[in-house]
Amino acid sequence: MKRIRKILKGIFFTFLALAAIFSFLYMYTSGRWHVAQTVAQDSTIAHISVDNVVFHAESFGSDSAQTVIVVHGGPGQDYRYLLPLKALADQYRVVFYDQRGTGLSPRVDASELTLQSSIEDLNRIVNYYSPDRKVNIIGHSWGAMLASAYLGVHPDKVHKIVLAEPGFLNAEMAAEFMERTNGFAIDMSFGNMLFIAKTVLQSMHLRGPDDQAIRDYIYTGLVQAPISDHPMSGYFCDNQLDTAKMPVWRMSMVASQAIQQSGMDQEGNMNIDLIKGVGNYEDTVLFVSGECNTLIGPDYQRRQASYFPKHRFEVISNAGHFMFADQPEVFFTLIRAYFQQQ
C-alpha cells in the first residue's frame, strides 16, 4: 500500500510540475499573435466568385491586354510572394489568385481540396478573365506542377506557358523529390524542438478568425522558421533561407495536406501524372531554373523538361528557387521575349 501511495504521489507531483511548466510557457508566449482574415470575414478584400467558389483575386494592367495567369506555389501558399510579377502589367493583364482554401481565400473543408479541384479551379480563373482568348500562364513550384497538369487538359486555352521549377511532374520524379528533400523533415534538435513548441504555444493564444487559424499559424511558422538545417535551405543561394524573399498573407495547413494526400496511393507514395496530354500543346514550353537550387535545380529540371516535346530551358545565374526575386531583370527579360515569340 505504501508503495502504491508513493507511486501515486510521484505521478501527482510530476503532473503538477508539468502543469506548472506548461502554465509558465503559456504565459511566456502570450502576445497578440495574428492570423489574417480571409474574404469570408472581410468582404472588402479583392475577390471573385466563379461557380460558387470564392477566390481572393486581383488583376493589374489593361483589361484589353492579353491575360497572364500567375499560379502560386504550395500547395497551401498564396500569391503575395509573386506580386513582383506585376511588372508585366505594362504589357499584359496580370492575374493573381489565391487557390481555393488558402491565402486570403475563404477556408473550406478538406474534402473540397484535391489535385483535380485545383485543375478545375485554374480553368475557372482562365474562363473568368479570358473566356474568348488564349492566356499566358506562369506557374511557380507547385503552381508549375498545376500549370503542367492544366496544359495537358486544356492545351487549346494556352498561348504561352512558363514552368518555374515545378516540384515533380510524375511518380518517378516524385520519388526522387522525396529522396532529395527528405520529405522536408525538420531535424529534431533541441533548438528546433524549442522553436516548434514556442510556435504551438503562441498559436494557442489566437482568437479566430476561423477554425483553421491555429493550424495555419503553426504551418506558416514552420515553413518560414529560422531553424538550423531548414529542409528548404537548399532552395536558396548559399543555403540561406533567411535571405529568401517569400512574404505570405496566410498559408493553409489543410490545403497543403489534403491536396498532397489526393495524389497518394494506399502506401502513401505519390502516384500522379501531370504530363499526360502535354504533347498536344503545339508551342514551346519555357522552363526556368535557378542556378543555386541544389535540391530541385537545373540538373533535376532538365529531366522534367524532357517530358515536353517542344521546350526551351533557361538557367538564371546567382538565383535560387525564387529566381524572379533574386534576379528580376534577367527573369523578366526572358519572360517578355518568350511571350512575344511567334
How many Å apart are CA 98 and CA 101, to the nearest integer? 8
The answer to the question of residue 271 being in a domain is yes
pLDDT at 208 over 90: no
pLDDT at 271 over 70: yes
104-154 pLDDT, tens digit each: 999 999 999 999 999 999 999 999 999 999 999 999 999 999 999 999 999
Domain containing 112 equals 55-177+266-339
Determine the residue type at 247.
P
14-67 pLDDT, tens digit each: 544 444 444 545 555 566 778 999 999 999 999 999 999 999 999 999 999 999
The answer to the question of residue 38 being in a domain is no
How does residue 13 score in pLDDT terms, banded at 50, 70 and 90?
very low
Its pTM stands at 0.91
Look at residue 5 in the predicted model and tell me its pLDDT: 58
Determine the residue type at 100.
R
Determine the average pLDDT of the residues in 4-20: 51
CA angle (144, 145, 149) in 5-degree steps: 110
How many Å apart are CA 241 and CA 238, to the nearest integer? 9
The answer to the question of residue 303 being in a domain is yes
The answer to the question of residue 104 being in a domain is yes
The answer to the question of residue 257 being in a domain is no
Three cell numbers, residue 239: 543555403
**Burial class (CB within 10 angstroms; exposed 0-12, middle 13-18, buried 19+) of 238:** exposed
The answer to the question of residue 48 being in a domain is no
The answer to the question of residue 217 being in a domain is no
Look at residue 223 in the predicted model and tell me its pLDDT: 84
Which CATH number fits the domain that encloses residue 279?
Answer: 3.40.50.1820
Q: Please state, for a pLDDT cut of 70, what percent of the chain lies above it.
A: 89
How many Å apart are CA 319 and CA 324, to the nearest integer? 8
Based on DSSP, count helices (H) and strands (E) in the chain, helices before strands: 10, 8
How does residue 201 score in pLDDT terms, banded at 50, 70 and 90?
confident
- Domain tally, the chain: 1
